[in-house]
Structure 1
């Protein structure tokens, strides 16, 4: 009996610190921006430790091996999505515009396996109880909804403050991690040459110097350059 308690204690302590190390390596997004795959991964990691505690045939070395291998696979997946932007859509998914200019996009709802009632539930969780208030709504990869309200309903209520009406526009990312998002440019009839010309006006010769840029109708392009440290890393590749 004493040997059983000793074995369980040792395996539990090792499993505890192994899980702690893995979650630290994988980063905070495992909690703050959890995706369905992240959720499944967390369950698997917990099951690996939990099952090992009550199986006498599974030793400490097998627990460590299983946790290390699963953690390595998740880590490699994270590194792939960080290094190669084109893999992110397939491996992590993309946000879906489920409401576009006050019109519900049924095609995107169908892809996300959502109906109107489920969408309204997600919107209520954001404090939106009427669809008439919404200009844009995006279904994020973690299953939450981000909302951009129409101008009269934006808080504090512009209608009550007698602020003149303004057009509501959606910011569009056009550069990410030093790469031009040509699909977004094409969607809004923007040319790559136009973007390069605008970029030169800011003193940057190439998109590789820009970590993020977004375009919004009627506003100047927002450019966010890489930090000096990140820029040196990019140049060394």
Structure 2
């Protein structure tokens, strides 16, 4: 009995340390590959915990290998947009301007009834009140209501509102998103010229930059608090 207790404590400490190293995430925030790793680690720890005939190292070594693999994938996905798309996937817009995006729902095999249930859980029983609904890469649904249906409702005050779209992410961690630039009918030369007005001559120095629908460019340099707006 004492042996089982000791082995259990050792495996428990090992798993806790591994999970801490892999990062702080709630279950609902885990990416698919992170969830798979977490489940595999739990299974690997349970086997030597239940069977004292199996050496502890037979459980600990695979757990460490999985940890290294997960940390490596996380680092690659953090540094490479292409790798991030392959490993984590991309957010999917399932409602656009109050209309269901049928092609995206079919591609995701996402049931309309499930979508309606998620919307009701977020206090949006009417699809027409939703500007955008985005299925994130971790499976959570983000809902952006129409401007008239937000907490402070301008329509109650007879205030007209303008259309608000989604800001386009142009730079993440020094990497340029040329696809979003193309969507905005802009190019790399334009972005470099705009950043150059503020003494920024290298895109790699920019930690984050985005463009809103009004044409305002927000940027933040690496290791520099605060940001700027063109």
TM-score (norm 2): 0.91
Change (3 A) 1:154 1:88: same
Structure 1's unaligned 5+ residue stretches are 230-237
Residue 92 (structure 2) aligns with: 96
1:119 maps to which of 92, 115, 125: 115
Do the aligned partners of 1:30 and 1:38 also contact (CA within 8 Å) in 2? no
SS at match of 1:97: strand
Superposed, 1:136-151 pairs within 5 Å as 136-151=132-147
Partner Cα separation in structure 2 for residue 41 and residue 224 of structure 1: 33
CA deviation profile, 1:134-191 (whole Å, cap 9, x unmatched): 1111110111111211111111112113322221221110111111100111123222
SS at match of 1:137: strand
CA deviation profile, 1:77-98 (whole Å, cap 9, x unmatched): 1122123232000001111111
SS at match of 1:160: helix
2:37 maps to which of 12, 36, 41: 41
Residue 84 (structure 1) aligns with: 80
4+ aligned runs moved over 4 Å, structure 1: none
Residue 194 (structure 1) aligns with: 190
TM-score (norm 1): 0.88
CA deviation profile, 1:53-102 (whole Å, cap 9, x unmatched): 22232112212212111212111111221232320000011111112222
Residue 51 (structure 2) aligns with: 55
Residue 175 (structure 1) aligns with: 171
CA deviation profile, 1:99-129 (whole Å, cap 9, x unmatched): 2222221222122210211111222222211
2:2 maps to which of 6, 13, 17: 6
Change (3 A) 1:102 1:45: same
Deviates more, 1:23-32 or 1:90-99: 23-32
SS at match of 1:111: helix
Partner Cα separation in structure 2 for residue 228 and residue 164 of structure 1: 38
1:106 maps to which of 78, 97, 102: 102
CA deviation profile, 1:198-232 (whole Å, cap 9, x unmatched): 11122211211111111111141111111159xxx
Change (3 A) 1:81 1:220: same
Partner Cα separation in structure 2 for residue 120 and residue 202 of structure 1: 46
Structure 2's unaligned 5+ residue stretches are 226-230
